[in-house]
Amino acid sequence: MADNISAVIKDGVVQSSTASSISLSDKDKAAKSSSLDKDAFLQLLVAQMKYQDPLQPTDNTEYISQLANFSELEEMQNLSATMNLQRASALVGQEVVLKVTNSTTGNSEFVSGQVDYVVYENNKAYVSIDESLYSVDDIYEVINPSYSEAYALAKKFVSAIASFPAVKDLTLEHENAIKTLRETYDAMSAYQKSFVASDAIKMLESFEKKMAELKLAAENT
């Protein structure tokens, strides 16, 4: 029977430090301590043998049956744990959203970020995001890299639009910056463009219209 694995996975490599060196939440510690592992089972079995009625001892076949059942259960747990480790290891470098419970308010909250590494201890996997550990079971969604890229690009584009003064306050000095915005938008894929608010595009078009008016006025002076 395989023993419980305790390791840190980073960039696909098992690190020398173990999960026990990384603090977990009290809730996770309590959950782990409440689980019945192989050692606990053997201790219970020894206690059962020690305190059995000597006049009516437990049949040896019953002990063998108990050990066999536990061995089968542990093998299933080890298989499940291996699959969880593979699943968790594949998340390193991925953007994820987690749904967690606030220990103070009891309300559900969403946490997002990139998985830096995975901690694996006592058949449970934990992902590290911004130096905080979360159970892999708390993962609500794995964000596709193209989604993250499109969202970041759209956010940057809209922020650039918002940094401009009001249309009436534009000058010819803003011409190059407006051209750059248009080139950036035109270079986006249809998927990336879908993340840009329509109001931002209307604002860009109003910038371009105002710039055309300013250039025409300058040519006529």
The DSSP code for 90 is T
Q: What is the pLDDT along the chain (221 residues), one digit of tens a residue?
A: 444 434 444 444 444 333 333 334 444 444 444 445 566 666 766 776 666 666 666 565 665 566 666 666 666 666 666 666 777 778 888 888 899 888 888 888 888 899 999 888 877 888 899 988 998 888 888 888 888 788 889 989 999 999 999 999 999 999 999 999 999 999 999 999 998 988 999 999 999 999 999 999 988 87
Whole-number Å distance between alpha carbons of 217 and 200: 26
Neighbours of 53 (CB within 10 A): 7
Whether 60 and 48 have beta carbons less than 8 Å apart is answered as: no
Q: How far is CA 125 from CA 40, 84, 90, 108, in A?
A: 21, 7, 12, 21
Whole-number Å distance between alpha carbons of 189 and 55: 82
Which pLDDT value is given to residue 39? Answer: 65
Which pLDDT value is given to residue 20? Answer: 34
Residue type, 4: N
